[in-house]
C-alpha cells in the first residue's frame, strides 16, 4: 500500500507536461494494439492529416514565419492588432506584468462559449465568436478596469478585484443575454474569484499588491534558464487550488486529469489543457521582458476539441461504435479521456511529418509553431467541412473549466 508521502510524490509527477506525454502515450499504445474500448486508430490516414496541416500552414503563413500558438493570436482577431493597447503608456516592466495579467485572465475564461454566443466589439464593430470573441471581450473588459481595484490603473488584474468578480459583471462585459448565452458563466466567475484568493495567499510568487503579472518578477528572481516546462510546473502548483474539486492525491488537486483503464495502477491521465495553453501564452510576454524561455517542446499538444477533432474528422481516430458521436458525453467519462489522450500522442508523431513537408527542422519550428500553423486551424477547417456550425465531432458536457 502506498503511503501518503508516496501519493504526494506521484501527485507532484502528475503535475507536469512530462506526465501528460507519458500517460497519453500509454493510452495510445493500448489503442495501437487494439486494446481500447471506445476508439481505434487508422494510422494510414496520418499522412493525409499532415498534408492538410502543411497546406493550412502555408496558406496562413506563406513565408513560414509562424508565431507560437498562444492566446495572443486571438487578440488580433479580425486583422486588428490590439496587443499594443495593453498598458501602452507604462514602462517595459509594467507592460510585461499587464500582459501576463491579461493572458492569465483571458485563458481562464477561454472555455467553450457555446455555438450561439457572439461578442460585438463596440470600438471596431466587429462581431466575433468562440475563442476569438472571448479573447477580445476579455481584453476590452480589462481596458475598462473590470479586473483592477485601482481605477487609475485599469490595465491590470489584481487579487482585490478578481476575488470580487460576480457572474453579473462578467455577463455585462461579455454581452451575455437570454438570446446570446455564454455557457458556464457561474463557473467562469468562480474561477476568477479563486484566482484572486490564490494570488493573495502567495506573496512569494504573486507579490504585493498580489496579481498574476508579478510572476514575471518571480521567475526573474529565480535566475538561471527558464524552460516552458518550468513555467507549467509553477502554474500547476501555484494555481492548483483554483480548479473545481475533481481528483486529488497526497493532498494535491490534480486539476485537468481523468482516468483510463489502460493506465496501470491509479489509471490517471493528466492533460492540464488550460494550464498548458496558459504556459504557451506566457512565453511571448516573458521573452519581450528580456527573459529567455527554452525547451518549448517540453510542453505537449493541447487536449482540446479542435486538435482532437482534426484526428477524428480526419479518420485517424475512429469510434468503435459510431453511436458514440451521437450522444452527449461527460467530460470526465472514459470515452472523452480516451479521445483527448490519443491526439496528444498523435501530434508528437504528426509534427515531424509536417516539418518534413514544410522543409523545416525541429529547432526552428517547435511544436508551438506546428500547433499554430497548424493543427488547431486545420481542426477548425475540417470541422466546418463536416458540420455547418463548425462544432466538435463529439458533444461534451463540460462545466466551463476544461474546454
- CA triple 341-346-351, angle to 5 deg: 135
pLDDT given for residue 321 in this prediction: 94
Entry pTM: 0.92
The predicted-structure confidence for 336-351, as pLDDT tens digits, reads as follows: 999 999 999 999 999 9
In whole angstroms, what is the distance from residue 209 CA to residue 212 CA?
A: 10
Helices (H), 239-362: 273-288, 305-313, 334-358
Q: Has residue 226 got a pLDDT over 80?
A: yes
Helices (H), 61-109: 92-108
Q: Please, what sign has the CA dihedral across residues 277, 144, 157, 188? A: negative
pLDDT given for residue 1 in this prediction: 47
pLDDT given for residue 249 in this prediction: 84
pLDDT given for residue 241 in this prediction: 87
In whole angstroms, what is the distance from residue 214 CA to residue 224 CA?
A: 18
In whole angstroms, what is the distance from residue 63 CA to residue 47 CA?
A: 23
In this structure, are residues 276 and 20 in contact, taking their beta carbons and an 8 Å threshold?
A: yes
Instruction: State the cell numbers at 259.
Output: 482516468
pLDDT given for residue 130 in this prediction: 87
Residue carrying C-alpha cell 509527477: 13
**Residue 225 — left, alpha, or beta (φ > 0 → left; ψ -120 to 50 → alpha)?**
beta
In this structure, are residues 380 and 390 in contact, taking their beta carbons and an 8 Å threshold?
A: yes
Q: Has residue 401 got a pLDDT over 80?
A: no
Residue 214 CB partners (closer than 8 Å, separation 6+): 97, 205, 206, 207
In whole angstroms, what is the distance from residue 144 CA to residue 326 CA?
A: 42
In this structure, are residues 21 and 348 in contact, taking their beta carbons and an 8 Å threshold?
A: yes
pLDDT given for residue 183 in this prediction: 86
The confidence band for 8, taking pLDDT boundaries of 50, 70 and 90, is confident
In this structure, are residues 56 and 49 in contact, taking their beta carbons and an 8 Å threshold?
A: no
What average pLDDT does the segment 203-225 reach? Answer: 94
pLDDT given for residue 326 in this prediction: 92
Instruction: Please give the radius of gyration of the chain, using alpha carbons only, rounded to the nearest integer.
Output: 20
- CA triple 23-27-31, angle to 5 deg: 160
Percent pLDDT > 70 in the chain is 98
What average pLDDT does the segment 162-176 reach? Answer: 96
Amino acid at each position: 500500500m502506498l503511503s501518503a508521502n508516496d501519493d504526494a510524490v506521484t501527485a507532484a509527477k502528475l503535475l507536469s507536461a512530462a506526465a501528460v506525454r507519458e500517460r497519453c502515450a500509454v493510452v495510445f499504445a493500448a489503442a495501437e494494439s487494439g486494446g481500447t474500448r471506445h476508439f481505434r486508430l487508422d494510422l494510414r490516414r496520418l499522412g493525409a492529416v499532415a498534408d492538410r496541416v502543411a497546406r493550412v500552414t502555408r496558406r496562413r503563413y506563406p513565408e513560414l514565419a509562424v508565431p507560437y500558438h498562444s492566446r495572443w493570436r486571438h487578440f488580433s482577431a479580425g486583422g486588428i492588432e490590439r496587443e499594443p493597447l495593453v498598458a501602452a503608456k507604462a514602462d517595459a516592466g509594467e507592460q510585461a506584468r499587464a500582459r501576463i495579467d491579461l493572458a492569465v485572465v483571458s485563458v481562464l475564461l477561454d472555455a467553450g462559449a457555446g455555438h450561439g454566443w457572439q461578442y460585438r466589439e463596440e470600438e471596431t464593430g466587429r462581431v466575433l465568436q468562440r475563442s476569438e470573441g472571448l479573447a477580445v471581450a476579455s481584453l476590452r473588459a480589462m481596458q475598462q478596469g473590470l479586473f483592477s481595484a485601482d481605477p487609475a490603473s485599469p490595465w491590470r488584474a489584481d487579487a482585490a478585484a478578481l476575488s470580487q468578480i460576480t457572474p453579473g459583471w462578467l455577463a455585462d462585459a461579455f454581452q451575455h443575454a437570454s438570446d446570446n448565452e455564454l455557457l458556464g458563466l457561474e463557473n467562469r466567475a468562480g474561477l476568477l474569484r479563486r484566482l484572486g484568493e490564490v494570488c493573495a495567499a502567495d506573496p512569494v510568487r504573486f507579490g504585493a499588491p498580489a496579481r498574476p503579472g508579478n510572476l514575471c518578477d518571480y521567475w526573474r528572481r529565480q535566475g538561471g534558464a527558464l524552460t516552458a516546462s518550468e513555467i507549467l510546473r509553477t502554474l500547476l502548483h501555484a494555481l492548483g487550488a483554483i480548479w473545481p474539486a475533481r481528483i486529488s492525491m497526497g493532498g494535491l488537486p490534480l486539476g485537468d486529469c481523468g482516468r483510463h483503464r489502460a493506465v496501470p495502477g491509479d489509471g490517471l491521465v493528466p492533460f492540464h489543457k488550460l494550464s498548458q495553453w496558459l504556459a504557451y501564452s506566457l512565453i511571448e510576454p516573458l521573452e519581450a521582458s528580456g527573459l529567455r524561455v527554452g525547451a518549448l517542446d517540453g510542453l505537449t499538444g493541447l487536449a482540446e476539441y479542435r486538435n482532437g477533432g482534426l484526428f477524428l474528422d480526419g479518420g485517424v481516430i475512429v469510434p468503435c461504435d459510431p453511436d458514440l458521436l451521437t450522444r452527449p458525453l461527460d467530460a470526465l467519462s472514459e470515452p472523452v479521456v480516451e479521445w483527448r489522450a490519443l491526439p496528444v500522442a498523435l501530434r508528437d508523431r504528426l509534427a515531424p511529418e509536417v516539418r518534413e513537408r514544410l522543409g523545416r527542422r525541429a529547432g526552428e519550428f517547435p511544436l508551438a509553431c506546428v500547433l499554430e500553423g497548424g493543427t488547431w486551424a486545420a481542426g477548425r477547417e475540417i470541422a466546418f467541412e463536416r458540420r455547418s456550425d463548425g462544432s466538435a465531432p463529439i458533444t461534451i458536457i463540460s462545466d466551463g473549466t476544461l474546454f
